[in-house]
Chain A
């Protein structure tokens, strides 16, 4: 391959050198002016218009034939509608493409310059102009209506018995969270994220542990500051940095204290997370069941793209986004359809998010509901880190209960 590139570069350089030589030669020989396009030049370019049109069309047809089956049949319910819509659009676009490009290049060839001929003075024609305002107008009206009908089908609210799965993104991996037996997600807060708690699920113990950790940090920094007061050795800027750090840590504490405890179906959302299943690398979903994905992001914007299901939604820090989808073809069936025994559905990140963006993926397995249930039951439950009880609780004000808000109100 390298050799090929080298060859191309060398050829290009030679071609340019030759052209420059021709240019120099022709300059000295030529008598006529640059602006007078010779009959031969006009003819050459007019013919090249036709040649190009031919190549362009043949190339297009080749690409359609060779690469037209861009993806296997849709593996989701709405995907079938989307594919239909896509096919209608592609047909329309392709036919227009051929017609318009044909007339463009054909006219350019047909009406090439002839000495002595005078062009037709044809400045406007209301009927023609009306025609090509109305025809695209009608076609577009069709496209708009058809498209919006499909769009509304895709984006309506998920049904009440849809299976909820949270997809949590961060640089550079995905975590799927299943709500567990109680069918309720535990509250999550970015303020509680740690290595043992990558999604920041809220539990009483977790809060206490984090508060202790922050208190220890505050104490440490305040101790340094107090020592410096007795014997001022630190540069002033460093003192300012430390003071800033103390107030940041205190605000962090305050944000944790502000986390609300809700209750859904009679269970506290600080406890309903205990049986949540967190899974990395591979996500299982049941076939023919509606699934509502809830997307959250830890750091920057990511986008969950599942090309085989014709689904995509951004995952935005600070906002929970949602998308529904009903898979219709299991992984095993799709392996048969594609004739590829190692075929797997895939979830990719489709919003640039950093250096490893190109490899931020997750395998998706579609299987029967029984297999799915068995698989979920096998996954490890979330467990809050164990902490020893300390006498003085740092929770100055116990969070109030709020039964109205939903469990997903992640702070």
Chain B
């Protein structure tokens, strides 16, 4: 016993001890491996979520049509004769939303790029705690598995929408999806939050403590700033979701009444009084709104980096960009009530939320204009990552603008919970964040796998995704303005909507093509991991520190001493230098001013 302990201690003395398959690929504590684990898990979850959306788009595009493919995937119970069951429809919608928001765009996006980029871009050997980092991934993995498993239980997966408002989600009598499926949803979400918190704490601590010599906060690349603020938002808001979820679990199984009062359902007057369904909404949206920015900010950070690098220009208004990120982060905590204008909340409170919500448009506008000015007089190189970043600016602006209408309580009354909302958040949050994620993957793939992705396939992937994305979501504004509610299984029961519903088949066709276009990405990604062209050390002529590490991954990232930082990350086309990029490790010339 003593002997093993001794060898163990000796092992720790060495920096590079031999690794087994398990410690290298499964329970890895290396941030680069964990980043890849997050990415691939998110891709798997993303494929499931896209397939679910295709299933319900078939129903929405051609209600009542028989699609044998639905029957093949979902069986006789959920798609008898190839027609999607009404409860199954709601389950698909719910799980699509949950997976996309939490597993792909929160866990996947932050998990991948925070882990990959924080140590590499601040000049650290690894995260502050490799062990917590590993735990963070494994909590994520287990919660993903539970969420997927919930699709297979009797009664089906959770079906109350991704916001799972009680009493619908609290009462198994209310709908089949509020049985076992909902319990698994809640358990999965508790584990997911644990993962997020472990990750988030680690990110914050690492960024504050482990920056290389000379890497002042004002020299950090904007990716790191975005991830930093994102992590703080997560650490402050996710615990509130846990409490909301735990209280809901108690209402469901222990007879408490936090959210329930005066309910008669299925022939029975329930034994619960005094709770409030609105309490849940307050708790949920206290996370829910910062969550939107937890999803969006890393994508904006990535696009800042990619746009500057590929415009060969410094990002315009670096300090204003940091200020906007901080302002958005702060404001995101005091706007949650704009999801609740018509819940019976005091109208005066609504007015306050109108004010705070519309304020967010100012830092957002600053960011959008700064991106565009970065392109101005640049030397724009269209890598696939750059295309996705430009696409992101377009979706961010287009979707953000309709937010002005939704934030206005008097207008929200008309479009609340209609397709207008679906259009708004899919464009501003869904498309923007996924574009940011794709931009990140195309840009840092060489750093992750030491190989290049195929550029031509990247182009095809981008253009198809852009056209289909807007093709799906842009017309939804008009369907929503005409008064069509979201989460409807079919619109055949309402004559006044007939005339806009001829848009639905086209939307579904765009969805099908857009979904198929992702196969291009999958093929490119998995093929290039093994057979892609070998990458050079700094393929994009970028300034940031990650491109000074060797192509071949190693523990500790840099073979010798850690790099020393002498300048900010955006010295592109600096007139005092010959090259159009000056890496952060290059010392200042005599007489040159640090920016």
Contact = CB atoms under 8 A, between A and B. Distances in A.
Interface string A270-310: 00000000000000000000000001001111010101101
A48 B463 contact: yes
Contacts of A35: 383, 446, 452, 455, 535-536, 539-540
Chain B's interface size range is 35 or more
A191 to B, nearest CB: 5
Interface string B546-581: 000000000000000000000000101111000010
B474 A314 contact: no
A354 B175 contact: yes
A96 to B, nearest CB: 6
Interface stretch (B199-207, B240-248, B372-380): B372-380
A111 B379 contact: yes
Interface stretch (B17-25, B26-34, B404-412, B431-439): B404-412
A49 to B, nearest CB: 7
A45 B489 CA distance: 39
Interface stretch (B45-53, B189-197, B344-352): B344-352
B362 A122 contact: no
A112 B382 contact: yes
Given A120-B573, A190-B264, A314 B375 contact: no
A410 B487 CA distance: 31
A63 to B, nearest CB: 6
A132 B366 CA distance: 6
Contacts, number: 395
B354 A350 contact: no
B548 to A, nearest CB: 17
Interface stretch (B100-108, B143-151, B161-169): B161-169
A119 interface: yes
A81 B188 CA distance: 46
B262 A59 contact: no
B187 interface: no
A338 B274 CA distance: 47
A304 to B, nearest CB: 9
B426 interface: no
Contacts of A406: none
Given A190-B263, A303-B417, A310-B414, A143 B316 contact: no
B344 A319 contact: yes
A86 B414 contact: yes
Interface in B368-398: 368-373, 375-383, 387, 390, 393-394, 397-398
Given A100-B372, A251-B271, A299 B509 contact: no
Interface stretch (A149-157, A223-231, A379-387): A149-157
B263 A248 contact: no
A89 B533 CA distance: 50
A372 interface: no
B276 A12 contact: no
Contact of B381 (A19, A37, A154, A322): A37
A11 B523 CA distance: 18
A208 interface: no
Contacts of A22: 456
Contact of A352 (B161, B387, B411, B516): B161
Contacts of A133: 362, 365-366
B65 A2 contact: yes
A348 interface: yes
A355 interface: yes
B401 to A, nearest CB: 4
A166 to B, nearest CB: 14
B523 A20 contact: yes
A122 B263 contact: no
A351 interface: yes
Contacts of B533: 33-34
B402 interface: yes
B131 interface: no
Contact of A119 (B320, B377, B409): B377
Nearest to B314: A123
Contact of A63 (B275, B405, B474): B474
A129 interface: yes
B573 A119 contact: yes
Contact of B475 (A63, A125, A410): A63
Contacts of B362: 133, 136-137, 140
A104 B512 contact: no
Interface in A1-27: 1-2, 4-5, 8-9, 12-13, 16, 19-20, 22-23, 26-27
Contacts of B466: 52
A342 B264 contact: no
B452 A358 contact: no
Contacts of A399: none
B470 interface: yes
B365 A252 contact: no
B232 interface: no
B264 A298 contact: yes
Contacts of A41: 382, 455, 459
A299 B358 contact: no
Given A104-B390, A301-B168, A89 B405 contact: yes
Nearest to B514: A12
B483 A70 contact: yes
B394 A300 contact: no
B483 A89 contact: no
Given A119-B377, A318-B261, A82 B277 contact: no
A321 B500 CA distance: 31
Contacts of A19: 457, 460, 520
Contact of A37 (B382, B488, B517): B382
A151 B354 contact: yes
Contact of B513 (A12, A23, A82): A12
B451 to A, nearest CB: 9
A361 interface: yes
A93 B402 contact: yes
A344 B539 CA distance: 64
A303 B483 CA distance: 13
A319 to B, nearest CB: 6
Contacts of A204: none
Interface in A205-257: 248, 251-252, 255
Contact of A49 (B264, B343, B390, B452): B390
B501 to A, nearest CB: 11
Interface stretch (B120-128, B133-141, B491-499): B491-499
B359 interface: yes
Given A121-B574, A136-B365, A107 B478 contact: no
A319 B343 CA distance: 10
The 6 closest A-B CB pairs, nearest first, are A318-B261, A307-B483, A321-B344, A155-B347, A70-B481, A35-B539
10 contacts: A100-B368, A105-B394, A113-B382, A118-B573, A120-B376, A120-B378, A121-B573, A123-B318, A147-B408, A312-B416
Given A93-B401, A143-B408, A299-B171, 5 more contacts: A89-B408, A193-B264, A317-B167, A357-B487, A358-B491
Interface of B: 58, 62, 65-67, 86-87, 90, 160-161, 165, 167-168, 171, 174-175, 260-265, 269, 271, 273, 275-278, 311-314, 316-320, 342-344, 347, 350-351, 354-355, 358-359, 361-362, 365-366, 368-373, 375-383, 387, 390, 393-394, 397-398, 401-402, 404-405, 408-411, 413-414, 416-418, 446, 452-457, 459-460, 463, 466-467, 470, 474-475, 477-478, 481-483, 485, 487-491, 493-496, 500, 503, 505, 509, 512-513, 516-517, 519-520, 523, 532-533, 535-536, 539-540, 570, 572-575, 580, 595
Interface of A: 1-2, 4-5, 8-9, 12-13, 16, 19-20, 22-23, 26-27, 33-35, 37, 41-42, 44-46, 48-49, 52, 55-56, 59-60, 63, 67-68, 70-71, 81-82, 85-86, 89-90, 92-93, 96-97, 100-101, 103-105, 107-108, 111-114, 117-125, 128-129, 132-133, 136-137, 140, 143-144, 147-148, 150-152, 154-155, 170-171, 190-191, 193, 200, 248, 251-252, 255, 295, 298-301, 303, 305, 307-308, 310-314, 316-319, 321-322, 342-344, 346, 348-359, 361, 410-411
